[in-house]
Amino acid sequence: MELSGAEILWECLMREGVEVVFGIPGGANMPIYDAMLKYPVHHVLVRHEQGAAHMADGYARASGKVGVALATSGPGATNLVTGIATAMMDSSPVVFITGQVHAHLIGGDAFQETDVTGITLPITKHNYLVTRAEEIAQVVREAFYIARTGRPGPVLIDICKNAQIQKTEFVYPEKIELPGYKPPRTAPPSELKKAAQMIKESRRPVILAGHGLLISRAYREMQELSHRAHIPVAMTLLGIGSMPASDPHNLGMMGMHGEAYCNLAIQNADLLIALGMRFDDRVTGNLKTYAPHAKKIHVEIDPSEVHKNVVVDLPLFGDLKAVLTDLLPYVEEARHDEWFDQIEEWRAESDSRDIIYWPDDGKLYTAHVIRSIWEATQGKATLATGVGQHQMWAAQYYPFEEPYRFITSGGAGTMGFGVPAALGVWFTDKSRDVWVIDGDGSFQMTQAELSTIVQEGASVKIAIMNNHFLGMVRQWQEFFFESRYAATPLHGPDFVKIAEAHGIPAQRITKPEEVKDALQFANQTPGPVLLDFWVEKEEAVYPMVPAGADLHDMIRRPVREKSPA
């Protein structure tokens, strides 16, 4: 069967199970778009290529499938870069397909020529420059295999225009053999027995649940380990959802804006069991004083992450699901009641400071709004967020009972992620209750994708926590720069009018008593809705571990006179 390179691309995408792609056509990928009309794929026309990248990323995180984003050469390809870096930092499987100028023009500064493979080399798991049609089938097959296996990540395929047009015999490569690329599967029994013995001997253990648990679908095995050995679970930002919020073993989020009692548990532990997390700086604080009394087990599929930041006592290399499945038969039942009692004391002290228990003082606080969204959605929504204070409050005050319900940018901290990622999530299951929790700063970075949401008829609800500041930067300026607010007061447009201009129903909420009716309006209105919450301008996220400080050295919210009942 002789096909053009563009047709071969779509033939391969169909065999990979691709149902939806996100992108924008241009001069260097026009043959790809022309061939697309012959295939049963849904294309989402975005307003900016960054939006395409985040949509494909959100789709991948929520579904476990590989997301796909398309762009043309030059500025189209470079507009993907922020989204590619975001996917790379958070190990999200996305294949990015860009058009490139004709092969004979490369290096000649042709119109819209950019060395996209050179630019993206540090922020992709792998990338390809395709100059001939004969290469396309093999490259696409490899790209999807690399993106989804081992530690997932983004792969970029840059296809020259002549390769898209040329015709060649299409042969689909059924098998993939990549010498040197052999992700480890599981640890040897001798190492698993050592881990089980360390767990048995511990008196104050803590499981550190990272994003890898969700990526490998290993959260049920982790929960079984936690329950069998009576071990509390602390989660990274991207590990949220791996343990139900209502489970007594759940300590909540760790790290810079994690729960105080969670950080104290880590600092006083005698054993840390790190599952699919990389000990980044926002989790550990000062490495010299991090968990000083704890032995450490690190289960990780990527050997480069082990001993990188924290030297561990026992590394276990392999896929988390396989390692935990093989480890569980060696683990004995145990009780650590004294340890849990100590943690509960710390938790009670933290609750005495928690803003969620504050009585109504007539002010609109983001934490209270997010908790109201949780109540209005019965805790069953999938949240996509931007980055900043609202993101941390969402992690703290929307308790998640299920995995894959919290879609957010972790490692890269990409503002503007929320709105496009939410649309990607919606395409994984259109019956999902999808909400965006955004800040006024993050929202303005990708607000053009409101048009995409309307064009697709997507039922995405958007809640803007509008404090008229770049809130997280303002908080740092307040704490560490003597409240010198340099370039953080933020003038924004009328978001209600912006929404209405796109054909989206919208409301502005300025008082606590208006919240319930607004959320009812959103839930009862078909399709997209935007709610603009004018929250307190200078409220801060607590607790906070200053950059480089000890994990237990937290800035904490002052205790109000009235503690929780």
Tell me, what DSSP letter sits at residue 407? Answer: E
Interacting residues of 501 by C-beta distance below 8 A, sequence separation 6+ = none
Q: Which of 111, 479, 480, 481 is catalytic?
A: 111
Phi and psi, residue 554, nearest 5°: -100, 145
CA atoms within 13 A on the CB side of 409: 32
Among residues 112, 138, 197, 455, the one annotated as catalytic is 112
Q: Which residue has the tokens 């073993």?
A: 249
Helix locations, 328-407, DSSP H: 337-351, 366-376, 389-397
Verify whether residue 538 is a known catalytic residue: no
CA distance 22 to 152: 19
Query: How far apart are the C-alpha atoms of 418 and 377, rounded to whole Å?
Result: 18
Give the contacts of 325 (CB within 8 A, at least 6 positions apart): 186, 221
Choice among 65, 125, 161, 296 that is catalytic: 161
> How buried is residue 552: exposed, middle or buried, by Cβ count under 10 Å (0-12/13-18/19+)?
middle
Active site residue 112: yes
Q: Which residues partner with 62 through β-bridges?
A: none
**Choice among 472, 477, 539, 544 that is catalytic:** 472
Q: Distance between CA 154 and CA 147 in Å, rounded?
A: 6
Contacts of 326 (CB under 8 A, 6+ apart): 186, 187, 189, 192
Question: How buried is residue 133: exposed, middle or buried, by Cβ count under 10 Å (0-12/13-18/19+)?
Answer: buried
Residue 49 is among the residues annotated as catalytic for this protein: yes
Pairing outcome for strands 167-169 and 2-4: antiparallel
Q: Which of 11, 16, 49, 300 is catalytic?
A: 49
Q: What is the DSSP letter of 544?
A: B
111 noted as active-site residue: yes
Cβ proximity of 296 and 312 under 8 Å: yes
281-305 in b/e burial notation, b at 16+ Cβ within 10 A? ebbbbbeeebbeebbbbbbbbbeeb
Give the sheet arrangement for strand 250-253, strand by strand. Answer: 250-253, 233-235, 205-209, 271-275, 295-300, 314-317
What is the number of other CB atoms lying within 10 angstroms of the CB of residue 475? 22
* Dihedral sign computed on CA atoms, order 96, 100, 104, 107: negative
**DSSP code, position 149:** S
CB contact at 8 A, 86 and 492: no
Q: How far apart are CA 473 and CA 486, in angstroms?
A: 9
472 belongs to the catalytic site? yes
Q: Which neighbouring-strand residues pair with 506?
A: 530
Cβ atoms within 10 A of the Cβ of 533, count?
28
Q: Which residues are catalytic?
A: 49, 111-112, 161, 472
